Amino acid sequence: MTGYSLAYAIGVPLYGRISVLFLSTFGAGASPVMVSMGMLGLGIGFAFIQAPATNAATNALPESEVGAGMGIFAGAFFLGAGTGPAIIGAFLAAREEAGSGAINPLYTLDAAPFSDAFLAMVPALIIALIAAFGLRSNIKGNEQSGKEKAR
């Protein structure tokens, strides 16, 4: 997959946000089928964002720096993969200990802390959506790579 599509970069975080809101409103504490539908949406969103993110990281760098750049990208990815669940787990524990109702006004089931934990993911997805607007299709690394290949 080459190139960059603004619609794709905006649509995938939006799709992820809708899946998380679905889990927060209808999935937490519901039947396994409802939870599976929400998790399927999250999985599809992740699958559609990972390959373009890797391509963007690769294309943003000159050919001589791709190896180091991808190492940094992978390290940041793994750091986020460990930090995100830890933060959400701490939030879940705090909400469970508080014993109060759900933050999401549309949630009506009995697992309010889980609903709130899914809802807590939405700000990160909004940040990703805002960041997608800042991406450009003409990346300097592509121009530099082209110059290196011409030499």
Tens-level pLDDT at each residue, the chain (151 residues): 444 565 666 666 677 788 888 888 888 888 899 889 988 988 888 777 777 778 878 888 899 999 999 999 999 989 988 998 899 899 889 988 888 888 888 888 888 888 888 888 888 878 877 776 766 554 454 455 455 545 5
Amino acid at position 5, single letter: S
Dihedral sign, Cα of residue 120, residue 121, residue 122, residue 126: positive
* Inter-residue contact 113 to 96 (CB < 8 Å): yes
CA distance 94 to 73: 31
CA distance 99 to 40: 29
User: Residue 40's closest CA among 64, 23, 65?
Assistant: 23
Could you state, in order of their start, the residue ranges of all structural domains in the chain?
6-150
Record the pTM.
0.65
